[in-house]
Amino acid sequence: MTDLFDAAGIDMKPRPDWSAEAEMIASNGGPVCGVDEVGRGPLAGPVVAAAVVLNPDDIPEGLDDSKKLSEKKRQFLYGEIQEKALAVSIAEATVEEIDQINILQASMLAMRRAVAGLQMKPQGALVDGNRDPGLDLPTRTLIKGDGRSLSIAAASIIAKVFRDELMKKLHEEFPDYGWAQNAGYGVAKHLAALKLVGATRHHRRSFAPIRQVLNEE
C-alpha cells in the first residue's frame, strides 16, 4: 500500500471540497465562482477559461481535477455542471492575442472574460494557480485548486471539454496534426506534421517550435 491508501486499502487521496467556498461566502456573502483555464502548453489553438457558480444544494457528484478524470466522465460531468450550476461562462483568448501579449497574459485575459460573462455577479472568485488575474471582485488563488475546490474543479472540466471539442473541430479542417487526439500539444505526430506541411493560422507563432518551422520556411 502507498500512503495514499489506508490500512484497509481505502482511497485516501484528497478530493475537492466546499471549504474554500464556505470561507469566502462567510466573508463576502456569496455566491462564489470557481475559475480555471486550459491550454497554456499547446502549440496550436486558443487558451480557454471557464467560470462556474455552483449551486451548493445541487453539486454534481464526482467533481475533480479534469486531468484525473476519463474523457467519458468529463463529458458526463460537463452536462451535469451545465444543467445544475447557477451560472457557467466560457471564454477564449485567441492565438493572435497569445502571440501579442504572451501566453500567461492571454490566460489571465481569458479568465477575466469568463468571469465577466457570468449570468450572475459573484461576490468572490476562487482561481486555480498562484496568480491573480485582476478580477473586479475579491479573489483567492489556490495552487492545485482544481483538486481542492469543487468550484474550480467544475471550471476545469468545463474548460477542458470545451477546448478538446474545439480542437476536434479544427482537426477536421487540418487533419495532419492529430489535434483530435493531442489537442494541439507538441507530441511527436504534431511536430512531424509541422516539418512536413508547415504551420497553420491556428499555430502560436510566438512558441519556439513554431518559430523554428517558420524560419525554416
Along the chain (217 residues), what's the average pLDDT of each consecutive run of 10 residues? 45 82 94 98 98 97 96 97 98 98 98 98 97 96 97 98 98 97 96 95 96 84
DSSP-derived secondary structure letter, 59 = P
Nearest to 157 by CA among 57, 82, 96: 82
Q: Give the chain's domains with CATH numbers.
A: 19-166 (3.30.420.10)
Q: Give the predicted TM-score (pTM) of the model.
A: 0.92
Nearest to 54 by CA among 161, 158, 166, 164: 158
**Res 68: pLDDT:** 95
pLDDT at 145: 97
Residue 1 CB neighbour total at 10 angstroms = 9
Give the angle subtended at the CA of 153 by the CAs of 98 and 41, to the nearest 5°: 25
The neighbouring-strand residues paired with 17 are 149
Element containing residue 116 per DSSP (H, E): helix 103-116
The rounded distance, in Å, linking the Cα atoms of 37 and 71 is: 17
Return the biggest CA–CA distance within the chain: 60
- pLDDT value of residue 21: 97
Q: Give the HSE-up count for residue 23: Cα atoms under 13 Å, Cβ half-sphere.
A: 9
pLDDT value at position 14? 79
**Whole-number pLDDT of residue 216:** 79
Q: What's the CA gap between 52 and 90, in Å, rounded? A: 9
Q: Are 137 and 35 in contact (CB under 8 A)?
A: no
What cell numbers appear for 152 in the block?
A: 474550480
Q: Which residue's C-alpha cell is 468545463?
A: 158
CB 56 within 8 A of CB 21: yes
Cell numbers standing for residue 176: 495532419
